[in-house]
A and B are shown apart, each in its own frame.
Chain A
Amino acid sequence: MPILEVQNVRKVYTTRFGAHQVEALKDVSFSVEKEEYVAIMGESGSGKTTLLNILAALDKPTGGSVLLDGRDITTVRESEIASFRRDRLGFVFQDFNLLDTFSVRDNIYLPLVLAGGKLKEMEDRIRPISKRLGIAELLDKYPYELSGGQKQRTAVARALITNPRIVLADEPTGALDSKATDELLRLFSQINADGQTILMVTHSVKAASHAGRVLFIKDGEVYHQLYRGNLTNEALYQRISDTLTAIAANGEEV
Chain B
Amino acid sequence: MKRMLYPKLAWLGIKRNKQVYIPFILTGIGMVVMYYIITFLESSDALYQMSGGRELQATLGFGVNVMAFFVVIFLFYTNSFLIRRRKKEFGLYNILGMGKWNLARVLVWEALLIYVISVGAGLLFGVLFSKLAELAAMNMIGRGPDYHFEVSADSVCRVLFLFAIVFGLILINNLRQIHVSKPVELLRSENVGEKPPKVKWILSLLGVLVLGAAYYLAVTIQSPFDAMIWFFVAVIMVIAATYMLFISGSVALCRLLSKNKRFYYKTNHFVSVSSMSYRMKRNGAGLASICILSTMVLVTLSSTACLYFGKEDGMRLRYPQDIVLKARTSDEDAAYAVQEMARKAAGDSNVRIETEVQWRYLDISAECRDNELLTEGVTLGFSFGTTSNRVGLYVVPIEDYNRLMGESETLEPDEVLVGVTKGCSWPYDTVHLQNMEEMHVKRVVEELPPNGEESAQVFKSIYLFVPDYERFVEFYHGAGQESAAVQEYSYYGFDLSCGDEKQRQIVGTIIERIGTSQIEDETFPKVWVESIAEERDGFYSMYGSLFFLGILLGIVFVFATVLIIYYKQISEGYEDRAKFEIMQKVGMTEREIRKSVNSQVLTVFFLPLVAAGVHMTFAFPIIRKIMMLFNAVNVSLLIWTTVICFLTFGFFYIIVYRITSRAYLKLVSKS
- Which residues of A are at the interface with B, using a C-beta cutoff of 8 A? 56, 58, 79, 81-83, 85-87, 91, 93, 97-103, 106, 109-111, 113-117, 119, 122, 142-144, 158
Contact = CB atoms under 8 A, between A and B. Distances in A.
A100 B261 CA distance: 20
B96 interface: no
Contact of A91 (B193, B579, B585): B585
Contacts of B670: none
A99 B588 CA distance: 13
A115 B592 CA distance: 11
Given A99-B579, A101-B196, A102-B274, A114 B267 contact: yes
B590 A82 contact: yes
A91 B195 CA distance: 25
A119 B589 contact: no
A106 B590 CA distance: 21
B478 interface: no
A113 B587 contact: no
Contacts of A83: 587, 589
A111 B582 contact: no
Given A99-B582, A100-B193, A111 B587 contact: yes
B265 interface: yes
Given A113-B270, A114-B592, 11 more contacts: A82-B589, A83-B587, A83-B589, A91-B586, A100-B194, A101-B194, A101-B275, A103-B196, A110-B586, A111-B586, A119-B261
Contact of A86 (B195, B275, B277, B587): B587
Given A113-B267, A114-B586, A144 B275 contact: no
B535 to A, nearest CB: 63
Given A99-B579, A119-B265, A86 B586 contact: yes
Nearest to A142: B196
Nearest to B593: A82
A86 B585 CA distance: 9
A58 B270 CA distance: 24
Nearest to B258: A106
A83 B592 CA distance: 11
Interface in B180-229: 192-196
Interface of B: 192-196, 261-262, 265-267, 270, 274-275, 277-278, 579, 582-592
B271 to A, nearest CB: 8
B579 A101 contact: yes
A98 B587 CA distance: 13
B589 A97 contact: no
A100 B587 CA distance: 17
Contacts of A122: 265
B582 A119 contact: no
Contacts of A86: 586-587
Contacts of B274: 99, 101-102, 106
A101 B378 CA distance: 65
Contacts of B267: 113-116
A82 B587 contact: yes
A82 B583 CA distance: 10
A82 B278 contact: no
Contact of A114 (B196, B262, B579, B588): B588
Nearest to A123: B261
Q: Is the interface of A mostly helix, strand, loop or mixed?
A: helix
25 contacts: A79-B589, A82-B588, A82-B590, A82-B592, A85-B587, A91-B586, A93-B585, A97-B582, A98-B582, A99-B579, A99-B583, A102-B274, A103-B196, A109-B265, A113-B270, A114-B270, A114-B586, A114-B588, A114-B592, A116-B267, A117-B265, A119-B261, A119-B265, A142-B196, A144-B194
A144 B193 CA distance: 5
A202 B591 CA distance: 32
Nearest to A103: B196
A93 B277 CA distance: 26
Contacts, number: 77
B585 to A, nearest CB: 6
Contacts of B587: 82-83, 85-87, 111, 114-115
Contacts of B584: 82
A101 B261 contact: no
Contacts of A85: 587
Nearest to A89: B587
A97 B265 contact: no
Contacts of A81: 589
Contact of B195 (A110, A119, A142): A142
A93 B586 CA distance: 11
A138 to B, nearest CB: 14
B659 to A, nearest CB: 27
Contacts of A109: 265, 270
B89 to A, nearest CB: 24
A86 B267 CA distance: 13
Contacts of B589: 79, 81-83
Nearest to B277: A101
A146 to B, nearest CB: 9
A144 B196 CA distance: 9
Contacts of A100: 193-194, 278, 579
Contacts of A91: 585-586
Nearest to A106: B274
Contact of A144 (B195, B261, B278): B195
Nearest to A93: B585
Contacts of B590: 82
A79 B582 CA distance: 18
Contacts of B583: 99
Given A100-B193, A122-B265, A158 B270 contact: no
Nearest to B590: A82
A83 B587 CA distance: 6
A226 B299 CA distance: 77
Contacts of A115: 267, 587
The 6 closest A-B pairs by CB, nearest first: A86-B587, A144-B193, A82-B589, A113-B270, A97-B582, A101-B274
Nearest to B270: A113
A164 B270 CA distance: 22
A111 B590 CA distance: 15
Nearest to B588: A114
A110 B582 CA distance: 11
A119 B262 contact: yes
Nearest to A170: B585
B548 to A, nearest CB: 48
B587 to A, nearest CB: 3
B251 to A, nearest CB: 12
Q: Which of B196, B262, B277 has the most CB of A within 10 A?
A: B196
A26 B401 CA distance: 105
A113 B266 contact: yes
Nearest to B267: A116
A97 B589 CA distance: 17
B585 A143 contact: no
Interface centre among A101, A115, A143 (most CB of B within 10 A): A101
B109 to A, nearest CB: 34
A149 to B, nearest CB: 15
A149 B260 CA distance: 31
Contacts of B266: 113, 116
Nearest to A112: B265
A101 B587 CA distance: 17
A144 B262 CA distance: 26
A155 to B, nearest CB: 10
Nearest to A144: B193
A110 B261 CA distance: 14
